[in-house]
Amino acid sequence: MAVFLAEPYKIKVVEPIKVTTREYREQAIKEAGYNMFRLKSEDVYVDTLTDSGTNAMSAEQWSALMHGDEAYAGAASYYRLIAAAKDIFGYGFFQPVHQGRAAEKVLFPSFLEKGKYAIANLFFDTTRAHVELAGARCLECCNPEAADTQLKAPFKGNMDVEKLEKIITEKGPENIGMVVMTITNNSAGGQPVSLQNMRDTAAICQKYHIHLNIDAARFAENAMFVKLREPECKDMSIKEITRAFFDLADTFTMSAKKDAIVNMGGLIGVKDEEAPYILKIKANCISFEGFYTYGGLNGRDLDAMAVGLYEGMDENWLRYRLATMEYFGERLDEYGIPYQSPAGGHGIFLDAAKFYPQIPYNEFPGQVLSIELYKECGLRGCDIGSFMIGNDPDTGKQLKSINEFTRLAIPRRVYTQTHYDMVIEAINEVWKKRETIKRGYRITWEPPILRHFQATLEPIE
């Protein structure tokens, strides 16, 4: 029987949430064009659309807000953040930005342009978009184990290093603008990357003189998985594991809205403080974000991030975080419900293709399952599959995702076991009725980039 690990925190402030009827929810999702991002949050009971910026800050973080120095340039808050980042990551230069996609927008044009490629263990949505906006194209080398959702392997987020080297030699090292290692691997189901795999990937990048960037949004969760699953790291601290990873890369881009447990913020890190592209980073930041010592953030946001970076690495917190996902997965196992197994670090990724094998990828089974779960109990998740991945930028043809997931991304320090148990029962109800769903959805309007945020859909009758 699944056992829930008690929370390592107390609840100090609460927010009421609205209870709705199925009839109400069916009308709400219709008015939203069957797009989960277009639902009003007040019409959602449990919101697992994302774990990005949806977290509950601690008393220490709220206290840090009051220290915020709102000077336009050279604020004390900036220097407190830089000191924390240097202590944790050990890099020579850091650039705050307002969130992860801003980090990509500011950094990527220094390495990517038309005719270049970026290679990743898997790209998430905004990272893929910013590679393409820079004129380059995406190639992926995900661990093939990630395609088998029922396989319980410890590091399904790993880079396929043999495929990586093969692609580099085929395309030519001079045409590879960067390699991106995403930790944890979000599109693979929040699956971790091992330290040994990071070493192997770095060795290939060094061999061919290719820039290596870490997508570091969930670096602490990845480090905890490594501590628990990689024997050589079992006696290392989270900070020591983090430094071991980041020492192997040249740069990192981070959404601090995940493991730094803030509602807004991001970071770029550059190992070499003399790197010539730092000037380009600063120039892009000033143009797109704001002066480089605030990067589009209030001083109080910088202070909250400085505190949150440490809180996100607390081992008691991380053990609870991962144990919560494990509990969720074990409850689903009791019902025989398919998901990316073992459970990832930041959420449960339901295998929508196994829920609805009758629905082809271009009718978006992940979106179908998201909609059915919302109708059932007011749960908001999202498609991490072919609907999200979109169209080939050159041919316009719908791409097929490696998996068709419905992601339930769990906000940090927000919901309780009772919420999770309610959601699990609702998932089981939808699972039992899965054969009644015959068709999926078609897109009636979509923008050219990141369509899943805005597109309008309709059910196929």
Q: What DSSP string runs through 325-367?
A: HHHHHHHHHHHT--BSSS--SSEEEEEHHHH-TTS-GGG-HHH
Residue 10 burial class via C-beta count within 10 angstroms: exposed 0-12, middle 13-18, buried 19 and up = exposed
Which of 243, 421, 250, 245 has its CA nearest to residue 331? 421
* pLDDT tens for each residue of 78-96: 999 999 999 999 999 999 9
97 CB-side CA count, 13 A? 28
Catalytic residue among 125, 160, 301, 383: 125
Judged against a pLDDT cut of 90, whether residue 323 lies above it is answered with yes
Going from the C-alpha of 49 to that of each of 46, 207, 295, 315, 404, the distances in angstroms are: 9, 40, 26, 26, 16
Model confidence band, residue 125 (pLDDT cutoffs 50, 70, 90): confident
Alpha helices in 262-410 (DSSP H): 278-288, 299-311, 315-335, 352-355, 365-377, 386-389
State mean pLDDT over 186-204. 97
Q: Active-site residue 257, yes or no? A: no
* pLDDT tens for each residue of 443-461: 999 999 899 999 999 999 8
pLDDT for the residue numbered 1:
79
Catalytic residue among 24, 30, 59, 72: 72
Q: Active-site residue 124, yes or no? A: yes
Catalytic residue among 200, 215, 301, 383: 215
In this structure, the dihedral spanned by the alpha carbons of residues 236, 239, 244 and 246, taken in order and rounded to 10 degrees, is 160
Judged against a pLDDT cut of 90, whether residue 345 lies above it is answered with yes
* pLDDT tens for each residue of 48-64: 999 999 999 999 999 99
Rounded-to-integer distance, Cα 262 and Cα 306, Å: 10
Catalytic residue among 91, 108, 117, 124: 124
Sequence-separated (6 or more) residues with CB below 8 Å from residue 123? 131, 138, 140, 180, 182, 187
Rounded-to-integer distance, Cα 411 and Cα 258, Å: 9
Q: Active-site residue 125, yes or no? A: yes
Find the helix or strand (DSSP H, E) in which 59 lies. Answer: helix 59-65
Q: Active-site residue 217, yes or no? A: yes
* pLDDT tens for each residue of 208-256: 999 999 999 999 999 999 999 999 999 999 999 999 999 999 999 999 9
- The three-class DSSP label of residue 1 is coil
Judged against a pLDDT cut of 90, whether residue 424 lies above it is answered with yes
Residues 367 and 387 sit within 8 Å (Cβ to Cβ):
yes
Q: Active-site residue 452, yes or no? A: yes
* pLDDT tens for each residue of 372-396: 999 999 999 999 999 999 999 999 9
Q: Active-site residue 89, yes or no? A: no
Model confidence band, residue 100 (pLDDT cutoffs 50, 70, 90): very high
Compute the residue count for the chain.
461
Q: Active-site residue 346, yes or no? A: no
